[in-house]
Amino acid sequence: MLPELTPEDLHARLQRGDDLQLIDVRQPEEYEYCRIEGSYLIPLGELASRVEEIDPDRPTVLICHHGVRSMQALAYLQHRHEMTNLLNLRGGIHAWSTRVDPSVAVY
C-alpha cells in the first residue's frame, strides 16, 4: 500500500503550518485552471528529468486530478529514487475542491 492522505488531513496539516512540499503532476493547462495554493507544477511526463526539484528531506504531497497520476508518480519516486517522504492526495484536486475548498474549480 502506498502512503496517502485525505484532503481533510492535508488541510489540517497546512492549517497547522506543517512544512509540506506540494507537487502537482497534472498538465500545465490543468494547473492553470485550478490548483492548491502553494503547489508546484512538475507534470508527470517531466518527473524523471526534474526529480532533483523535489526536496527529499521535506514531506511531499503529490497531487493530480483524481489521485491516479500522483500515485504513479509516488510509486516511481519510491522505487527508482528511494524517496520515503511522499504522500499521495487521495481523490486528487477534485476531492480537495468538493470536500475542503469549493473556491477551487472542479473540472
Residues catalogued as catalytic = 64
Maximum C-alpha span of the chain: 36
Contact present, 76 and 46 (Cβ < 8 Å): no
Contact present, 92 and 35 (Cβ < 8 Å): no
